[in-house]
Structures are given as C-alpha cells and as structure tokens.
C-alpha cells in the first residue's frame, strides 16, 4: 500500500495532503528498481559460488589422490634407480675392464645441484616434503642417466679403437705352419750354430723351403725393407700401440718402406740370406722396442693343445739356424 503524506498548515490549523512532484516520483521509482537489481545480483553470485566452487570434501579427496600419485611416482623412480645402478655396475666392472678403461668416478655419477635452491617454489605446496623428495630423485635420475649416456658413447669409441688395436696386434704365425712341423727354434738362450757359444735368441726360427710365403702377422706400416747386416734381406713392420715385428733371412722382399699391410698379406719369401745355415725365417716381436717371446702372439692360429705342443718343440727340440 502506497504511503500518504500530510503537512500541517499553521494559518488554517489544518493538515493538508501533500502530493509528490513528477521528479520526486521518478527518483523514487529509480531507486526502487536499482535496489531490485542489486538484490538480484547478490542472489545470483551467491548461487554461482555455492554451486561452482568445490566442496571441502572434494578438495581433500583431490589432495589425497595427488599424494598417492606422488608416492607411486617416488616408488617408480626408486625402481628405475636400482636398474640404473645395475647398468652402472656392469659398465664399471665389465665393459670398462674389457676395454681397459678407468671406471666412472662416483662423484661424477652422484653430482647434484649444490648451491642452488631449486625446490623453494615447491615448499608451499601441500605435502611439500614428499613433492620435494620426489623431485630430487627425478633430478638425480636424470643426472645419472646423462652420465651413463656419456659413458656409453665413450665405450663405443673405445671399442672401435680396441677393434683397430686387435687388428694390429701380431696374432698369427708368419708362415703357414698348421701342423707345427716348421717350428725350428724358440725364444731364449740357444747354442749358436756358427760360433758354437750360448747366446740369447731374440725370436723364433721356422724351417721352410726357399720361396715359402711370409705373411704380415698384423695390420701395420713397413718401416724397413732392405738388406741388413746379419739379417740379410730384412723387413720391419710397425703395428702401432708399441708393437713391431721383424722378418729376417728373406730370399725376396715383396713390400717397400712406408707401405700399409694387413694381417695375412704376403710380404716376402723365405730364404737364407745374411748369417744363416739354411733356409728359414727368423721372426721377432717387440713391445715398446723390447723383444718378447713370439710364441705368445699366435692366438688366432693355435688352440691350447697346439700352443703347448709348439712350446715343447721350440724349447726342447729346437735348432737355431742363425
């Protein structure tokens, strides 16, 4: 019901009814309408907030799920660490041992991120201790995987170098001698056939007919191919890695100085040039310019039984030809 206003007239001592002007009515309608809109807006936003915001129970459930996921992730990272540790052990104790390489130092594998607070932004998260711990494990796993990748890359290069080294190391007999019947004399002190005194024999002698092919026992470069006093026609091959082989008393030289040769390549023919009492090949192996027993460098030719038989022939029944 609309309100009615009266005003007292002191002259007539009578209350007269007051009627609002048009402007007053308009202002009254405007403020009423504005109040309706404000009230409607308040109700609308209250309804939206209640229905769109997650409840406390929903938020607690989400946090519990997140915590569970972090724990699962942490366990998976621990399992991955165990697998990686096994790979690292094989790397250090097998692959690097076979390739004669030093193991990767633990301080390089375990290096962290000291001096920086990488996890400060995570400290305000729910369950921050679990989150930070898991993040640290993931970072450590990433670091160790990176180091292991570098180690494997290094091993690949070492294996390639080792393959080349194995191709260069003397590994076969310098003449065809499958039945070992050409074994004449071995490495060590022997009686000189010309001067009849005991002297050190720095190589092995193989009794062969003149013209028997002589083969390079490993890949290398010919560094001498000419006649030399005492040795007659003489070849010297540098195989790298400290290895040198020498071939003496040849009837013919088939290579020249500076020439590259490969294992099994024919380089000369057996003869009896120089200080020699009959056709044979005198063969030497040097490591870092020190003579070593050539019998230990036939591993691609001889099995265990043949190796033992050759030792017996060379040491007990050998005859020196030079």
pTM of the model: 0.57
Are 201 and 314 in contact by the 8 Å Cβ rule? The answer is no
Output the six-digit token pair for 81: 């660490």
pLDDT at 193: 59
Residue pLDDT, tens place only, 174-216? 998 887 778 777 787 666 555 555 677 888 889 889 999 999 9
Contact 234, 228 (CB under 8 A): yes
| Range among 54-58, 111-115, 155-159 with highest mean pLDDT value | 155-159
Q: What is the pLDDT of residue 9?
A: 66
| pLDDT at position 197 | 59
Is residue 281's pLDDT more than 80? yes
In whole angstroms, what separates CA 81 from the centre of its chain? 17
Residue 115 scores a pLDDT above 50: no
Segment 285-320, tens digit of pLDDT:
999 999 999 988 888 887 778 777 777 776 654 555
Token pair 């060590």 is found at: 188
Share of the chain above pLDDT 70, in %: 72
pLDDT of residue 201: 81
Averaged pLDDT, 132-160: 83
Q: Which residue has the higher pLDDT, 21 or 219?
A: 219
Give pLDDT, residue 237. Answer: 97
One DSSP character per residue, 88-140 reads HHHIIIIIHHHTT-PPPPHHHHS---TT--TTGGGTTSTTHHHHHHHHHHHHH
Going by their DSSP bridges, the two strands 5-9 and 183-185 should be labelled as unpaired
Rounded Cα distance, 206 and 322, in Å: 11
Say which residues have a Cβ less than 8 Å from residue 253's Cβ, sequence separation at least 6.
Answer: 225, 226, 233, 235, 267, 268
Give the DSSP letter string of 184-215.
EE-SEEEE-TTT-SEEEE-SEEEE--TT-EEE
- Dist CA 256 CA 100 (whole Å): 34
- pLDDT at position 262: 94
pLDDT of 142 strictly over 90: no
Compute how many other C-beta atoms are within 10 angstroms of the C-beta atom of residue 305.
8
Extended beta strands in the chain, E state: 5-9, 14-18, 183-185, 188-191, 198-201, 204-207, 213-215, 220-228, 232-240, 243-253, 260-261, 266-270, 280-287, 290-292
Rounded mean pLDDT, 24-30: 68
Residue 247: name the closest of 287, 281, 212 by CA.
281
Give yes or no for residue 65 having a pLDDT over 80.
Answer: no
Rounded to an integer, the average pLDDT of 251-267 is 95
β 232-240/198-201 pair status: unpaired
Q: Which residue has the tokens 């007051």?
A: 18
Cα–Cα distance for residue pair 219/173, rounded to 1 Å: 14
Distance CA 143, CA 151 (A): 12
* pLDDT(238) > 70: yes
Contact 258, 222 (CB under 8 A): yes
């Amino acid at each position: 019901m609309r309100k009615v206003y009266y005003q007292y007239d002191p002259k007539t001592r009578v209350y007269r009814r007051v009627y609002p002007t048009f402007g007053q009515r308009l202002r009254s309608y405007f403020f009423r309408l504005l109040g309706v809109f404000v009230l409607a807006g308040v109700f609308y936003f209250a309804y939206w907030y209640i229905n769109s915001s997650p409840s406390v129970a929903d938020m607690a459930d989400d946090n519990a799920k997140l915590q569970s996921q972090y724990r699962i992730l942490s366990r998976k990272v621990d399992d991955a660490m165990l697998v990686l540790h096994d790979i690292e052990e094989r790397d250090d104790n097998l692959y690097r041992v076979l390739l004669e390489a030093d193991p990767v130092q633990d301080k390089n594998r375990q290096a962290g991120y000291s001096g920086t607070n990488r996890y400060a932004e995570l400290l305000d998260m729910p369950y921050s201790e679990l989150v930070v711990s898991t993040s640290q494990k993931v970072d450590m796993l990433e670091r160790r995987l990176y180091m292991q990748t570098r180690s494997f890359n290094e091993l690949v290069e070492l294996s390639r170098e080792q393959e080349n080294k194995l191709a260069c190391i003397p590994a076969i007999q310098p003449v065809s001698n499958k039945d070992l019947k050409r074994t004449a004399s071995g490495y060590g002190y022997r009686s000189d056939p010309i001067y009849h005194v005991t002297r050190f024999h720095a190589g092995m002698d193989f009794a062969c007919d003149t013209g028997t092919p002589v083969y390079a026992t490993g890949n290398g470069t010919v560094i001498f191919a000419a006649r030399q006093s005492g040795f007659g026609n003489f070849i010297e091959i540098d195989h790298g890695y400290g290895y040198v082989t020498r071939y003496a008393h040849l009837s013919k030289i088939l290579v020249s100085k500076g020439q590259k040769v490969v294992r099994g390549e024919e380089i000369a023919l057996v003869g009896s040039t120089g200080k020699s009492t009959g056709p044979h090949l005198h063969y030497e192996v040097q490591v870092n310019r020190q003579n070593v027993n050539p019998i230990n460098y036939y591993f691609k030719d001889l099995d265990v039984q043949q190796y033992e038989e050759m030792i017996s022939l060379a040491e007990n029944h050998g005859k020196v030809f030079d």
